[in-house]
Structure 1
C-alpha cells in the first residue's frame, strides 16, 4: 500500500525520536505462547545469558513465513505482541512505514485480533497520544500510540512503539489481516517510534536493515512465501541473475527503480519509466493512458461500467518488464484476479488505472513481484532483483 501524500510529508521531531530510539532492545524473556512447543519462539531473544557466563552470538537473519490472502490478494506475516497469546497476522507492506494493529476496544474489531490492557496486562502501555495514517487508495485508520514487547521469528523487542486502530475505513475493517507491518524506507514511523526493521537492527537482533522477499503463487500450491529480516535466502533465486539497482525514491520514503520499458506481443508498449515496488498492493497500477495501453495488449480486454479493466481469465499474454537491462517476464496467470459475475470466463485485470498516478510511474504490486525474488536494502538504499529458482 502507498501512503497518501499528506502523510508522506509528516516529520517526527528529532528530540522525541532520539528519546524513543533508545527504548527498543532485545527481550531476554519468554513470550507466553512459547510455552506451546509449536509456537517456534525461543526463550531468549538473541543472546544467551547466565550467572556464570555471557555468550554473545552474532546477529543472524530472521526468516518469517508469508501466507497468501485470497488469490494472491495480499500476504501476511505473523508476530506476537505483549502477553496476547494469539498471533497477529499483519499485511506485509513495503509501501508504508507503520506497524499498527486493531485496538481490543475498537467497535470495528470484529474477528480481528486486538491489543490492549486486557490481552496484555503486564507490558501494554498507553502513551496517551492520538495518531492516524492514510493510504493512497483512500483507506485509513485513527487510534492511539502504545508500546509493548514484540516477538517475531522467535526473537523479541521490548517497549516498541506502535499504533492501534480504534476506527478504520470500511475496506480495512473488512479485511482479513489484523493490521499492517510497514517495511518502507522511513526510519521512524508516524507513531514516533522506530520501525520494526530498524528496531531489530538497533537491538542487534539482525545484522543489517535489509529484507529478502519471496511472494508465493497460490496456483503453484507451494505456500513457500517468506520474508528474511536482515538478509536474503539464496536458495530461493538464481544468483547468476541477480542485479542491484539504486533506489531512486527521494520524496515518498518507498522503493522506486528505473524501468527500461515494458514489452508485449513483441513490441515495446511503455518506454522508460519509474517502477514503484509495493508488496502491499495486489495489482499493477498506472496512469489511465498507460493502463489502457497495457490492457489493449490482452485480447478480449474491456473496460467495464465501473471503470475497471476485465480480461479473459485464461489469457496467455506475456508482459516483459525491462529493469537493469534485464528482462523480467510476468506469468500470464498473474494478470487475472477474481472472476467477474455474469461474465463467464472473465476476470478482473491485475493491471488497473490510477488517476493519481504520474504518467511516468507504474506501481509494481504482487502481480509482478510474484515473478521475482526481490531484495529491499534500506541501509544501502538499493533494490535487488533475481530470477526465482
Structure 2
C-alpha cells in the first residue's frame, strides 16, 4: 500500500479504515517502535484534535466498548494519549482485521501536531502499554497472511521517492534480492525489533563499540544514541558542536560518510540524510542523543531506513535489509 510522509522525511503514515456500516478512513502513523493502536475520537477536545478528522463510534456497526478498560500510552518523545479501549473491524492494505482492539483517544498532548490522527504500533504485542494484540499479530494468528512479515520502503522528500508498506511479505520489485541480509533479534528484546549492531563507521573510522543493539524504529526520524556513544561518534567529526539539547551542530556545507554494520554487511547513510538543515544555514547531525533506556541501546530511525529496504519478519523474529532497486 502507498505510504505518505510528514515532510521532510519526519514520519510515515497511511490510510486505515475503521469500522463497518459507514467505514471511516484515517491517516495513521506506522510505528515499529511501539505496540499500541489509537485514533482520535469524536469526544477529543484537546487542541491537537482541533480541525482534525475524528472517529465516530456511532457510525460503526462493529464497535464494542471494552467496559472498564481505559486506554493510556506515553511515547518516547513525551506525547501522551488517553481515552477508552474498544474493538472494531479495521482494514489495512486491503486486509480486514476483525475485533481489533484500539484506543479511542479523547485526550492528546498539545505537541501532537502531525498530519495523521493516530498511531499503529508494529512492534511485538509485548510492547503494548494496554495489553493490545497488534493488527499484524492478529493477521498472523488468523492465518490471513502469505508470510508472517511486513516490509517498508521509506521515501526521501528530496528525491520525491515513494514510500510503501507491504503486509504479508515484501515487494521484490523494490529491492535487490541478492543483497538481502537478515539479522536475528536479540533474545532479551522486550518485544522490540532489536538487533545487534556489528559496528558504526564515521568518515572511514570504525567506532568498535562492543555489545551495541539497535531498535529498528519507523516511528523515529533520527538515530538516537546514549549520550556517551554520541560523544564517541562525534569525536570523529572535529567540526561538530554539542548543542546541549540532544543534537550536534554541523556546518551545512560538509558531507560525512556514516555507515552502520548489521549481519556483517555495511549499509551507508546518504550524506543528505545525515546533515539535516533545521533552519536556513543551521544544520545538525541526524545522530542525536537521549536516554534510550540503556547505555548500549540505539534507536535506528528513518535517517537510516530511507537507505535500505526493510523486512520485518515476525515469524522468524528477524530483520532484513536490502539495497533499494
Whether the TM-score (by the shorter chain) exceeds 0.5 is yes
State the alpha-carbon separation in 1 of the partners of residues 310 and 154 from structure 2: 9
Structure 1 residue 369: Cα displacement: 0.8
Question: Are 2:111 and 1:198 equivalent residues in the alignment?
Answer: no
- Greater Cα offset, 155-164 or 175-184: 155-164
For the 8 Å contact 1:188–1:194, the answer to whether it is kept is no
For the 8 Å contact 2:125–2:132, the answer to whether it is kept is no
Alignment correspondent of 1:82: 19
Structure 1 residue 96: Cα displacement: 0.9
For 1:210, which of 131, 149, 156 is the aligned residue? 149
Equivalent residues in 2 for 1:220-369, closer than 5 Å: 220-222=159-161, 224-248=162-186, 250-272=188-210, 273-298=212-237, 300-304=239-243, 306-340=245-279, 344-369=280-305
For the 8 Å contact 2:218–2:301, the answer to whether it is kept is yes
What is the DSSP-based 3-state SS (H/G/I as helix, E as strand, rest coil) of the residue aligned with 1:177?
A: coil
Q: Give the unaligned 5+ runs of structure 1.
A: 1-63
State the alpha-carbon separation in 2 of the partners of residues 335 and 197 from structure 1: 31
TM-score calculated relative to the size of structure 2:
0.91
> How many residues matched?
320
State the alpha-carbon separation in 2 of the partners of residues 356 and 168 from structure 1: 23
State the alpha-carbon separation in 2 of the partners of residues 155 and 295 from structure 1: 45
Alignment correspondent of 1:150: 90
Structure 1's 249 and 88: CA in aligned 2 closer, same or farther, altered over 3 A?
Answer: farther
Structure 1 residue 338: Cα displacement: 4.4
Alignment correspondent of 2:61: 122
Residues 17-56 of structure 1 deviation map (CA, whole Å, 9 limit, x = unaligned): xxxxxxxxxxxxxxxxxxxxxxxxxxxxxxxxxxxxxxxx
Structure 1 residue 216: Cα displacement: 0.8
State the alpha-carbon separation in 1 of the partners of residues 244 and 298 from structure 2: 24
For the 8 Å contact 2:224–2:292, the answer to whether it is kept is no
For the 8 Å contact 2:127–2:191, the answer to whether it is kept is no
Rg larger in 1 or in 2? Answer: 1
CA RMSD of aligned residues (A): 2.1
Structure 1's 205 and 111: CA in aligned 2 closer, same or farther, altered over 3 A?
Answer: farther
Structure 1 residue 137: Cα displacement: 2.4
Residues 231-260 of structure 1 deviation map (CA, whole Å, 9 limit, x = unaligned): 011111111111111111524211111111
Q: Give the unaligned 5+ runs of structure 2.
A: none
What is the DSSP-based 3-state SS (H/G/I as helix, E as strand, rest coil) of the residue aligned with 1:166?
A: strand
Runs of 4+ in 1 over 6 A off after TM superposition: none
Structure 1 residue 130: Cα displacement: 0.8
State the alpha-carbon separation in 1 of the partners of residues 274 and 127 from structure 2: 35
Structure 1's 191 and 306: CA in aligned 2 closer, same or farther, altered over 3 A?
Answer: closer
State the alpha-carbon separation in 2 of the partners of residues 160 and 321 from structure 1: 36
Alignment correspondent of 1:181: 120
What is the DSSP-based 3-state SS (H/G/I as helix, E as strand, rest coil) of the residue aligned with 1:145?
A: strand
TM-score calculated relative to the size of structure 1:
0.77
Structure 1's 100 and 238: CA in aligned 2 closer, same or farther, altered over 3 A?
Answer: same
For the 8 Å contact 2:34–2:127, the answer to whether it is kept is no
Residues 96-130 of structure 1 deviation map (CA, whole Å, 9 limit, x = unaligned): 11111111110022133222334x24232222321
